[in-house]
Structure 1
Amino acid sequence: MELDLVDLSRWQFGITTVYHYLFVPLTMGLAPMVAIMQTIWHRTNDERWYRATRFFGNILLINFAMGIVTGIVQEFQFGLNWSEYSSFVGDVFGAPLAFEGLTAFFFESIFLGVWIFGWGRVPKWAHLASIWTVAVAVNISAYWIITANSFMRHPVGAVYNPETDRAELVDFWALLTNPTVLAAFPHAVFGSWMLAGTLVCGLAGWWMVKEQRAGDPEGNAATIWRSCTRFGAWTILVASVLIFATGDKLAKLMFTQQPMKMASAEALCRTEMDPHFSVLSISTLNDCESAVQLIGIPYVLPFLADGKFSGVTLQGVLDLQEQYEALYGPGNYTPNLFVTYWSFRMMIGFMVVSMIMAVVALWMTRGKRVPSAKWIMPACIVALPAPWLSNIAGWVFTEMGRQPWIVHPNPAYEGQNPEGMQDQIHMIVDFGVSDHQPWQVLLSMSLFTLIYGVGAVLWVWLITRYTKKGLDQPGLHHGDSERVAEITYGPDEDTTLEPLSFGATPTGTAGSTVVDTQGKER
């Protein structure tokens, strides 16, 4: 089989991007949740919330470290296999990516270091402020990245220079306020909340049942684990409502900006008035003309597209193909229907799993109940991958549904281009790749996949290891843990706080004495 340079380059970028995105939404969602836990501890002096902060803080630290490593590799992908694309959009992408490093990554790194190593070494208010700074910075980082990504979906704020064959930035404010950014960013943030909420609800629920079945000797099941379970569940439900709200706005934008993507997502082949929302459609060999809708729901799709329940005409894939050929010349302007259709439904379907988890968790812990049914423990673990799959499916839909465009045309943009050239800021994927030999891309892709596979095993092992330790995280030394509430964040010969670390042994730093909640040395 002949190796195709474009397909290999797309596969490599897809693999590295999806792998990196395993860590991004968890960091975005878990950082504010950990900050809230620490805030509760500071306000209540409840030692259990301190231990919960350490528990989920270690998971945040592991995830953040993996995100940094994979994120650096991700940015190098632009110059590795996509040099022509980087040349075309480099003037536009340079500003948001530079600001991402200056205003977000810088603050994330500095203040995360303060939070990790500042336990008991900096003022109490400064230590709490450091984790809140990280929580804000990771989300600002996402804003800059989505700003660049939104230009690929809906280019604004730039003009096309025919002499250099590049898009050149002329209006930075227009780039920052791109309507696609303003809709996509909150949608991504709330998706991260759902993911982090599921993780907190799942892990806390697992421990709650485990300790309850063991008799709850320390009272953790009925207090902190139950509280964390409900905290995660409410986060899921709040995030779900906001996801639907922002998703509705984003869908309406895409019906206008990228009608081919939305027609493909519904397997809508011909232009129709008030088509049904497709719950299940089938086709043969990715052929739109053979698509048959088996289950459909009326009124949903017109509302999703235009906010009306009827009287809405939506363009079909085959009609749009003819329009694009007339505008941009001969070619295939239809994305992969199978991927676009099913990734859209996977995004919604896996989100429903987290919602069901939240409802069940709140119901079973109502009225101060602490459940002990054994089936809950495996159910908590099985549900954990669902929000990751939902988030990844959403990005697969976003990027694959835009094909064959790597920069989608925006003919409506009234920039400063010469007359008749407003629609020239666009690029087909085939024209964005570097001039490599296919075997070179295959080799680098294989090496990345191998290294990332090892990294994934390490990540799962570390998360599993610290999850199994529960509230018994490295923390207090040479003192009774009941005195946590009295810590003054200053030098104290009897009570010190150990920096967060996922490299320490289960019993803490070598040579030190660790005291459990019962005041017994281990």
Structure 2
Amino acid sequence: MDLDIVGLSRLQFAVTALYHFLFVPLTIGLAILIAIMETVYVMTGRTVWRDMTKFWGSLFGINFAMGVATGIVMEFQFGMNWSYYSHYVGDVFGAPLAIEGLMAFFLEATFVGLFFFGWERLSKLKHLIVTWCVALGSNLSALWILIANGWMQNPVGAQFNPQTMRMEVTDFFAVLTNPVAQAKFVHTVSAAYVVAALFVLGISAWYLLKGRHVHLAKRSMTVAASFGLAASLSVVVLGDESGYLSTEHQKMKLAAIEAMWKTEPAPAAFTAFGFPDQAARETHFAVHIPWVMGLIGTRSLDTEIPGIDDLVKRAEVNIREGVVAYDALQTIRAAGASGTVPPEAKAAFEANGRQLGYALLLKRYVDDPRQATPEQVAKAAWDTVPQVAPLYWTFRIMVALGLFFIVLTAAFFWLSARRRLEAHPWLLKVALWAIPLPWIAAECGWFVAEFGRQPWIIEGVLPTGVAVSNLGAGTVLATLLGFVAIYSVLLVIEMKLMLGAIRKGPQEHPVPPPAALRAEAAPELALVR
């Protein structure tokens, strides 16, 4: 990445987004887990489940506060660092962000307060409703953010207005039901559930290794293993759906992830391993698995997946059509004052307007795209290819970790069903050391999604290079360093608070004697029967 104004602005947003997403998935996943735990408490009346809910809820609260603190800045960055982007697509992008703000700060934050301070003021059932509202608010907040992000990946329900030079909503329902946004939502939320499940699993494993809070730890591990196994399997299924949609809406991203330089005949093979070489435009020592990519990417055995070389040729055609649209746009705007638009200009724009964004790729090389040389057009076409090697390896790290999570949660699910969670101390240590891995997988997923979209900030509509604010590189660099410093301090505070709460452990009620325990468990056993 070139560290000019565009590169620095991208880096700043990437850093703040990745920092913020350290807190988001744990908030989303823990909210569901504590709601499940409190549901069991209300159904059975057993105090150990209330102790579990309060303990994991305290960790949720710490993480929630940090997530809010780091998330506020991101929305302001759209106006500070990406002012032309905000002008160009604000009519579309602003609505989901506004609704997300309402969800996060009115619905979710209100019920979070009731969750913590309502234990002695609300009945069991009312407090349970509050807890589920917290979980619902957390997930709905993610929904609206991902609707906005999904629109950036697949801009539907909007049209460019030549008079205002803005994208304007034409079908808000299409924005809401955008298939890319819906796939991203369920995939991202499932990944968040995995993060929370392995967090609970790892900390509970630490308690078992230390011989502390054994009753609470075993029950927490049972819930986390079951929930985590279901979530891990769903991530794979929903990730497959995202790959299929990429074939339709983001062909270049898929080709870059696969390091697929040439179009392969159907069904395309999956490159399990290799060393992409972007300069030579080939992948060295590639190991292919026949048919797999065709099945994932097209759900068929007779549809080819275009390679990078062919997609670049298509981009070159799109750029030339975009230049026609750009020329027509200048004519339309020049005639705007008189109100008389030449019919041929209007017809040219209507025929080629969808490729206008491709003409803007030429702004990197020439002020007026109409003056671009054939060499500059060819360079701009190759600019549509993201850096292949980072995408290739990041995607495979994410997939490998996802398979590991399935194996790990399945192992603990099996042990839990046989009441042998303490049987293998080495496996408990694996669970403990695996706590950071879901975060790594989630951050890899976001890297693939966002870095793979380059050079577009809005796929096919607005290049990243023309979306930035008119700021000096020094200003952006100074704020970048400031954000890194502040966010690092917040991360350290988060870790100290979380580790302090974990070392202290939950406040447990005394375990009743065996006879009383059997009497207390009777309603729970009846429910099982």
**TM-score in same-fold range (> 0.5):** yes
Does the Cα contact within 8 Å between 1:209 and 1:372 map onto a contact in 2?
no
In structure 2, the CA distance between the partners of 1:370 and 1:305, relative to structure 1 (3 Å rule), is: closer
What secondary structure does 1:283 align onto?
Answer: strand
Structure 2 residue 290 is matched with structure 1 residue 298: yes
For 1:453, the equivalent position in structure 2 comes to 488
Does the Cα contact within 8 Å between 1:210 and 1:377 map onto a contact in 2?
no
For 1:98, the equivalent position in structure 2 comes to 98
The TM-score normalised by the length of structure 2 is 0.82
Higher helix share: 2
Aligned counterpart for 1:318 among listed residues 304, 309, 317: 309
Q: CA deviation at 1:13?
A: 0.3
What secondary structure does 2:262 align onto?
Answer: coil
Give the aligned residue type for 1:398: A
Q: Deviations over 1:190-209 (max 9, x none)?
A: 11111111111111122123
What secondary structure does 2:274 align onto?
Answer: strand
In structure 2, the CA distance between the partners of 1:288 and 1:83, relative to structure 1 (3 Å rule), is: farther
Q: CA deviation at 1:460?
A: 1.1
Aligned counterpart for 2:256 among listed residues 264, 267, 291: 264
Aligned counterpart for 2:462 among listed residues 403, 427, 431: 427
For 1:513, the equivalent position in structure 2 comes to none
Higher deviation after alignment, 359-368 or 131-140: 359-368
Aligned counterpart for 1:339 among listed residues 390, 409, 419: 390
Structure 1, gaps ≥5 residues long: 410-425, 483-522
What secondary structure does 1:159 align onto?
Answer: strand
For 2:275, the equivalent position in structure 1 comes to 282
Aligned counterpart for 2:405 among listed residues 329, 354, 359: 354
Does the Cα contact within 8 Å between 1:21 and 1:392 map onto a contact in 2?
yes
For 2:159, the equivalent position in structure 1 comes to 159
For 2:438, the equivalent position in structure 1 comes to 387
In structure 2, the CA distance between the partners of 1:156 and 1:12, relative to structure 1 (3 Å rule), is: same
Does the Cα contact within 8 Å between 2:233 and 2:406 map onto a contact in 1?
no
Q: Deviations over 1:316-346 (max 9, x none)?
A: 0111011102202520110010121112112
Q: CA deviation at 1:294?
A: 2.4
Give the aligned residue type for 1:278: T
Give the aligned residue type for 1:324: A
What secondary structure does 1:393 align onto?
Answer: helix
For 1:408, the equivalent position in structure 2 comes to 459
For 2:168, the equivalent position in structure 1 comes to 168
What secondary structure does 1:168 align onto?
Answer: strand
Higher deviation after alignment, 352-361 or 384-393: 352-361
Give the aligned residue type for 2:107: F
1:1-150 alignment to 2 at 5 Å?
Answer: 3-150=3-150
Q: Deviations over 1:350-402 (max 9, x none)?
A: 22232222123234444222416543443222101111111111111001111
RMSD after superposition? 1.9
Percent of aligned pairs sharing the same letter:
37
What secondary structure does 1:296 align onto?
Answer: strand
What secondary structure does 1:39 align onto?
Answer: helix
For 2:515, the equivalent position in structure 1 comes to none
Q: Deviations over 1:31-88 (max 9, x none)?
A: 0110111111111111111111111111100110000001101111111111111111
Give the aligned residue type for 1:312: T
Does the Cα contact within 8 Å between 1:260 and 1:317 map onto a contact in 2?
yes
Instruction: State the distance in 1 between where 2:167 and 2:481 align.
Output: 33
Instruction: State the distance in 2 between where 1:405 and 1:165 align.
Output: 18
Structure 2, gaps ≥5 residues long: 321-376, 513-529
Instruction: State the distance in 1 between where 2:289 and 2:504 align.
Output: 48
Aligned counterpart for 1:472 among listed residues 507, 516, 520: 507
Structure 2 residue 234 is matched with structure 1 residue 242: yes
Instruction: State the distance in 2 between where 1:7 and 1:315 align.
Output: 29
What secondary structure does 1:291 align onto?
Answer: strand
Instruction: State the distance in 2 between where 1:287 and 1:233 align.
Output: 45
For 2:343, the equivalent position in structure 1 comes to none
Instruction: State the distance in 1 between where 2:206 and 2:408 align.
Output: 12
The TM-score normalised by the length of structure 1 is 0.83
Give the aligned residue type for 2:309: L
What secondary structure does 2:271 align onto?
Answer: strand
Give the aligned residue type for 1:272: E
In structure 2, the CA distance between the partners of 1:18 and 1:118, relative to structure 1 (3 Å rule), is: same
What secondary structure does 1:272 align onto?
Answer: coil
What secondary structure does 2:22 align onto?
Answer: coil
In structure 2, the CA distance between the partners of 1:190 and 1:288, relative to structure 1 (3 Å rule), is: farther
Q: CA deviation at 1:293?
A: 4.7
Q: CA deviation at 1:7?
A: 0.6
Instruction: State the distance in 2 between where 1:382 and 1:176 align.
Output: 39
Instruction: State the distance in 2 between where 1:95 and 1:36 align.
Output: 32
Q: CA deviation at 1:260?
A: 0.3
